[in-house]
Amino acid sequence: MTRRLPPTDAVIIGLGWTGSILAQELTAVGLNVVAIERGPWRDTATDFPTTYAQDELRYHIRHDLFLRPAQETMTFRNNANQTALPIRSWGSFMPPNGVGGGGTHWNAETWRFLPSDFRQRSHNIERYGKNFLPEGMTIQDWGVTYEELEPYYDRFEYLCGTSGTAGNLKGEIKKGGNPFEGPRSREYPTPAQKQPYGPTLFAKAAIEMGYQPFPQPSGNLSQAYTNPLGVTLGPCTYCGFCEWFGCGNYSKASPQTTILPILVRRPNFEARTLCEVVKINLDPAGKRATGVTYVDSNGDSWEQPAELVLLCAFQLFNVQMLLWSGIGKPYNPSTNEGVIGRNYSYQVTSSVNAFFDEDKIFNPFISSGSIGMCVDDFNGDNFDHGKLGFIGGGYIGAVQTNGRPLQSTLTPKGTPSWGAGWKQAVKQHYLHAYQTVTHGGCCSYRDAYLDLDPTYTDAFGRKLLRITFDFHENELKMSQHLTDRVAEITRAMGPRQLDKFPRTGHYNSTIYQTTHTCGGVVMGDDPQTSALNRYLQSWDVPNLFVTGASAFPQNAGYNPTNTVAALAFMAADAIVNQYLRSPGPLVQA
Amino acid sequence: MRKIALSLLLLISGGSAYAETDGQSFDQIARGRQLAIAGDCAACHTASGGRPYAGGRPLETPFGTLLAPNLTPDRETGIGAWTDDEFVRAVREGVGPRHNLYPAMPYPYYTKMSRADVLAIRDYLATLDPVSNKVVANQLPFPYSIRWNMSVWNALFFTPGEFAAKPEKSQEWNRGAYLVDGPAHCGACHTSKNILGADETGSALKGGVLQGWYAPNIINDSRDGLGSWSVDDIVTYLATGRNQMSAATGPMAEVVVDQTSQMSREDLRAIAIYLKGEGGDSASQTVPVPANDPAMQIGQAVYADQCTACHGLKGDGIPGLVPTLRGNAAVQSPDVTSLRRILTDGARSVATDAAPTGAAMPAFGWKLNGEQMAAVLTYIRNSWGNAAAPVSQP
């Protein structure tokens, strides 16, 4: 039996980055907000204290902070001719769980997308002609421009205290920053982090080759910072336990270190953890969300009525929740109609491993999730694609995220994969090997989509989400090109041996790449091809907003969090300053 | 300012003329509320999760547990039926309408308050919703359960009498002295107690142990008191729960939340001026434990591995987040109860509206052994110019 609770103004599904941002913005103007989170409450000192946060076995190998596949998983196949099977152990991406969500375990690489990324379809057709886009590619414009989003990027960066060097200040190109970035209205809140030897050497080589390297913008702070909410973060200690881990030093920007200390003091905010939303409820006409139904850890079922429903779960779970709730038309790849599940995309990464003589000591343990020197000459449309036969790109760089003992074991090609020979090679190369990376975008395609699996169900009897995805020629060509470029710079660092690993072949869901799954509830200005308007408001159910990378029509060549958060700030602004004054659709279709 | 000036006037005149004023006037009730905050009445008289001032919170004393009574105007279970004189006598003399109070009720401090101030508090309490909540205060074991004992205790240790201003001192000093020694009852924790729970003579505000915490020296002593803090440092600490050097935790966190963060800046400044004017004579001749001492060497190694990430290589800490160990009075205090506890169990600093972060130190008791913990405490007490007695293994 489901028991009905007293209504609230807004219910938030998932208390990660965007849930926290929206909860803060809405409670600040007096709304009563209830956040419902599937995972546990998590706080710095109690859940990842410095005394044991740096436990690679617990957090990286055994996935302590992540969702358990037995709790919820999805099925996967490369194409529609295959039968999808359930993912029983996380591989290529890591679905977060618990308060803080992905913001707890991210590397804090805090990028803005390029202005042209937001109109990727129009931009590429304008420059290269319509025939340049391959058959089946379904990239589209976002319905929002960089200029419109800039104030919200700024909000998130100042919330986090992001450390970086501006490359474009109000249109003026600044030395030392990224000259390709869109104009930013002011400097980063804190200066860039210090760079260790590897990125320094990479930057030197890049400059000699005519590139313009710059420090990667980082949410692991170079110095103590108190944000506009009054919450203080500490300086990063370069311990290198960022991605997969919570930060025990209060130095990685996360909901815990930037927003939650404020939210927990607000009497009009409530978080219900270890509670799983089963579905979003609709009125009989299906035009209005009436709230959510959730199940607590006791197995008891509750209905939480609300005036506003904010779906702030991880990308895949946003898609799943809408399909389960019957909101929006499910995508049908054979007709290319419908929107929920449409334009699923990912991130195309690759790497180059370089092995140096013993005079070059890289000290990989001096690291942080986002220190590094990057080159943006091969991102987006920063370079001429005319003769290359693909669109898009990514940043390339020397990003020193970690030197952790269990898995930071670079060995040259030809090394035995286990035993004494492997051990000898790990020992020989630990200090003298260096990995450079590419972080490429991913276009969307008609045959890459999400729907409900016909066979497998979860613990509540709901159909699992099915991922149908493979890499396309455009992305593989891009990865080859980017990998060659980063390899050229890396070679100029003077290694004895250099091994290139461009992304090749089929997408493999068992090998970790990134957690940047995107799309499925995309934003846009046409309800035929998007589920959300530019304010992340559902075209079909105007009192429902859906945040997260699920709104990306395709992915750019950057880490997504800054854009995810900026869109959430923009949505919050629209809710507070437009929707609450006049509830209803904010954009007329 | 008017309120302050009025309070000072009352303070100096004894305030008896004020008792006849309108108990429902805004000024009177607002003043009473401020005094109830300064007296931190709600801290004891509100149960966890209970209605404010409705009583029932267990107070752990070395002699057993007492439950704080219901102060709401309920006539049956609260103080609604009390006369003004009964209320004043209870607050200032520890004698209730039916029996003696135990000095967990800090009447040895409240006795310094003027009758007018006490009645202002009563006028404020009278505005609360009456809550029916019967509290049986006395949960003490025999023989402490015999309330008559308190007559003997009072004869031995209780000196009734209103605060007498010192005309040669400034108005701010006098206001501070009145608050500290009267309603704010700082000495209840910060003054060491004798075996019967009364203040040790000659030890006022020089530090005391309660509930497994050491409430440190809060007078102007240079090494283990507030000698290195400015008046502004003290005001910032009391108003926000932290300053550049330190952060409130343990029982003081609760004091900051319920009491000092809600007091006026003028009153906090008066408190700081008074505290800075006391003591200052223990320019301690302590010589630091030499760096080559075996405990110091172990401590240095433990510190480098476990502590530097937050507290820094030289004990600098992080402003607004992590306390400074260098020059920190609490680190160099003669009693290491709090130091041991924080290292063993960890501690969360208080979060206030002004300083909401509430950062915490994790527990090390599961990770370091007794020798390592003693050594690292000895090390931080004797490095970077700090000097204090070495810490032995428990």
Residues of A in contact with B306 (CB under 8 A): 50-51
Residues of B in contact with A232 (CB under 8 A): 318, 320-321, 355, 357, 359
Closest CA to A232 of B354, B255, B308, B248: B354
Instruction: Give the three-state DSSP class for B67.
Output: strand
Least confident of A375-379, A536-540, B195-199, B332-336: B195-199
**Chain A interface, Cβ < 8 Å to B:** 44-46, 49-52, 224, 226, 229-235, 237, 239, 248-250, 261-262, 265
- Average pLDDT on B321-333 reads 93
Structure tokens at A82: 């295959």
| CA gap B333, B258 in Å, rounded | 26
Average confidence score pLDDT of chain A:
97
- Average pLDDT on A573-585 reads 97
Please answer yes or no on whether A233 and B321 come within 8 Å at the CB atom. yes
Could you tell me which residue, B61 or B178, shows the higher pLDDT? B178
| CA gap A118, A114 in Å, rounded | 7
| CA gap A17, A106 in Å, rounded | 11
Binning chain A into helix, strand and coil, the percentages to the nearest 5 are 25, 25, 55
Instruction: Give the three-state DSSP class for A297.
Output: coil
**Centroid of chain to Cα A315:** 9
Residues of B in contact with A261 (CB under 8 A): 351, 356-358
| CA gap A521, B352 in Å, rounded | 40
Q: Tell me if A484 sits within 8 A of A494, measured CB to CB.
A: no
* C-alpha separations of A327 from A251, A286, A451, A529 in Å: 39, 8, 13, 15
Q: Tell me, what's the ipTM?
A: 0.90
Q: What are phi and psi of B66, to 5 degrees?
A: -120, 150
Q: Tell me if A236 sits within 8 A of A222, measured CB to CB.
A: yes
Question: What confidence tens digit (pLDDT) does each residue in B290-308 have?
Answer: 999 999 999 999 999 999 9
Residue A173 has pLDDT above 70, yes or no: yes
Residue B8 has pLDDT above 70, yes or no: no
Question: What confidence tens digit (pLDDT) does each residue in A385-422 have?
Answer: 999 999 999 999 999 999 999 988 999 999 999 999 99
- Average pLDDT on B50-54 reads 94
pLDDT band at B282 (very low <50, low <70, confident <90, very high): low
Structure tokens at A213: 């390297």
What is the number of alpha carbons within 13 Å of residue B271 lying toward its C-beta? 28
| CA gap A96, A94 in Å, rounded | 6
Structure tokens at A360: 């070059």
For chain A, the domains span 2-579
| CA gap B361, B318 in Å, rounded | 13
Q: Which parts of B182-293 fold into alpha helices (H)?
A: 187-190, 231-240, 250-258, 265-276
Residues of B in contact with A233 (CB under 8 A): 321
| CA gap A528, A511 in Å, rounded | 35
Instruction: Give the three-state DSSP class for A519.
Output: strand
What is the number of alpha carbons within 13 Å of residue A520 lying toward its C-beta? 32
| A106 backbone φψ class: left, alpha, beta (φ>0; ψ -120 to 50) | beta
Specify the residue for token string 């405490």: B377
Residues of A in contact with B310 (CB under 8 A): 50, 234, 249
For CA atoms B89, B91, B95, B97, the dihedral sign is positive
Measured from the Cβ of residue A442, the count of other Cβ atoms closer than 10 Å reads 33
Closest residue in chain A to residue B363, using alpha carbons only? A51
Residues of A in contact with B321 (CB under 8 A): 224, 232-234, 250
Nearest-CA distance A47 → chain B (Å): 10
Task: Express as a percent the part of chain A with pLDDT over 90.
Answer: 99
Question: What confidence tens digit (pLDDT) does each residue in B105-139 have?
Answer: 999 999 999 999 999 999 999 999 999 999 887 88
Please answer yes or no on whether A230 and B348 come within 8 Å at the CB atom. no
Which DSSP letter does residue B267 get? H
Helix (H) or strand (E) holding A271: strand A269-272
3-state secondary structure B332-372: CCCCCHHHHHHHHHCEECCCCCCCCCCCEECCCCCCCCHHH
Question: What confidence tens digit (pLDDT) does each residue in B222-234 have?
Answer: 888 999 999 999 9
Out of B310, B354, B358, the one facing A249 most closely (by C-beta) is B310
- Helix and strand totals (H; E) in chain B: 16, 6
Q: Tell me if A48 sits within 8 A of A248, measured CB to CB.
A: yes
Closest residue in chain B to residue A50, using alpha carbons only? B362
Out of B322, B359, B367, the one facing A51 most closely (by C-beta) is B367
Amino acid at B100: N
Nearest-CA distance B256 → chain A (Å): 15
Out of B321, B354, B356, the one facing A234 most closely (by C-beta) is B321
Residues of B in contact with A51 (CB under 8 A): 306, 362-364, 366-367
Query: What pLDDT, on a 0 to 100 scale, did the predictor assign at position B21?
Result: 59
Out of A50, A231, A235, the one facing B318 most closely (by C-beta) is A235
Residue spans of beta strands (DSSP E) within chain B: 58-61, 64-67, 208-210, 213-215, 347-348, 360-361
* Residue of B257, B306, B318 for testing the chain A interface, max A β-carbons within 10 Å: B318
Closest residue in chain A to residue B349, using alpha carbons only? A45
Query: What pLDDT, on a 0 to 100 scale, did the predictor assign at position B5?
Result: 45
- Note the maximum CA span of chain B: 70
Out of B319, B358, B362, the one facing A49 most closely (by C-beta) is B362
| CA gap A155, A185 in Å, rounded | 11
- Average pLDDT on B266-280 reads 94
Q: Tell me if B144 sits within 8 A of B64, measured CB to CB.
A: yes
* C-alpha separations of A572 from A26, A82, A191, A440, A577 in Å: 7, 41, 28, 29, 8
Please answer yes or no on whether B310 and A233 come within 8 Å at the CB atom. no
Query: What pLDDT, on a 0 to 100 scale, did the predictor assign at position B332?
Result: 93
Residue A274 has pLDDT above 50, yes or no: yes
* C-alpha separations of A570 from A102, A115, A400, A502, B24 in Å: 20, 16, 32, 36, 49
Query: What pLDDT, on a 0 to 100 scale, did the predictor assign at position B143?
Result: 83
* Residue of B321, B348, B353 for testing the chain A interface, max A β-carbons within 10 Å: B321
Residues of A in contact with B366 (CB under 8 A): 51
pLDDT band at B283 (very low <50, low <70, confident <90, very high): low
b/e burial code for range A511-542 (CB count within 10 A of at least 16 → b): eebbbbbbbbbbbbeebebbbbbbbbbbbbbb
Q: Which parts of A430-522 fold into alpha helices (H)?
A: 473-492
Out of B309, B318, B362, the one facing A224 most closely (by C-beta) is B318
Structure tokens at A299: 């197995």
**Chain B interface, Cβ < 8 Å to A:** 306, 309-310, 318-322, 346, 348, 351, 353-364, 366-367
Q: Tell me if B283 sits within 8 A of A23, measured CB to CB.
A: no
* Alpha-carbon dihedral angle through residues A547, A572, A191, A53, given to the nearest 10 degrees: -50
What order of strands is seen across the sheet that includes strand A463-468? Answer: A85-86, A74-77, A463-468, A449-457
Residue B6 has pLDDT above 50, yes or no: no
Query: What pLDDT, on a 0 to 100 scale, did the predictor assign at position B15?
Result: 37
Structure tokens at A485: 């470029």
Least confident of A130-134, A426-430, B159-163: B159-163
* First CA to last CA distance, chain B: 51
Residue A549 has pLDDT above 50, yes or no: yes
Average confidence score pLDDT of chain B:
90
Please answer yes or no on whether A50 and B348 come within 8 Å at the CB atom. no
Please answer yes or no on whether B351 and A233 come within 8 Å at the CB atom. no
Q: Which parts of A209-330 fold into alpha helices (H)?
A: 255-258, 260-263, 315-325
Q: Long-range contacts: A446-449, Cβ < 8 Å, 24+?
A: A446/A136, A446/A137, A446/A138, A446/A333, A446/A336, A447/A79, A447/A80, A447/A136, A447/A333, A448/A343, A448/A344, A448/A345, A448/A472, A449/A331, A449/A333, A449/A341, A449/A342, A449/A343, A449/A344, A449/A520
Out of A231, A234, A239, the one facing B322 most closely (by C-beta) is A234
* C-alpha separations of A326 from A319, A320, A459, A534, B366 in Å: 11, 10, 19, 21, 51
Global confidence as pTM: 0.94
* Alpha-carbon dihedral angle through residues A141, A145, A150, A156, given to the nearest 10 degrees: -30
Query: What pLDDT, on a 0 to 100 scale, did the predictor assign at position B11?
Result: 42
Residues of A known to be catalytic: 516
Nearest-CA distance A234 → chain B (Å): 7
pLDDT band at B150 (very low <50, low <70, confident <90, very high): confident
Question: What confidence tens digit (pLDDT) does each residue in A21-74 have?
Answer: 999 999 999 999 999 999 999 999 899 999 999 999 999 999 999 999 999 999
Measured from the Cβ of residue B82, the count of other Cβ atoms closer than 10 Å reads 18
Those residues whose C-beta lies under 8 Å from the C-beta of residue A210, and which sit 6 or more positions away, are none
CATH dotted code for A2-579: 3.50.50.60
Closest CA to A318 of A57, A549, A585: A549
Query: What pLDDT, on a 0 to 100 scale, did the predictor assign at position B224?
Result: 86
| CA gap B4, B1 in Å, rounded | 5
Q: Tell me if B120 sits within 8 A of B91, measured CB to CB.
A: no
Q: Which parts of A376-510 fold into alpha helices (H)?
A: 419-429, 473-492
Residue spans of beta strands (DSSP E) within A441-541: 449-457, 463-468, 497-501, 518-520
- Average pLDDT on A564-581 reads 98
Query: What pLDDT, on a 0 to 100 scale, did the predictor assign at position B284?
Result: 59
pLDDT band at B4 (very low <50, low <70, confident <90, very high): very low
pLDDT band at B153 (very low <50, low <70, confident <90, very high): confident
Specify the residue for token string 């209840």: B188
Instruction: Give the three-state DSSP class for A199.
Output: helix
Structure tokens at A556: 């750019």
Question: What confidence tens digit (pLDDT) does each residue in A198-255 have?
Answer: 999 999 999 999 999 999 999 999 999 999 999 999 999 999 999 999 999 999 999 9
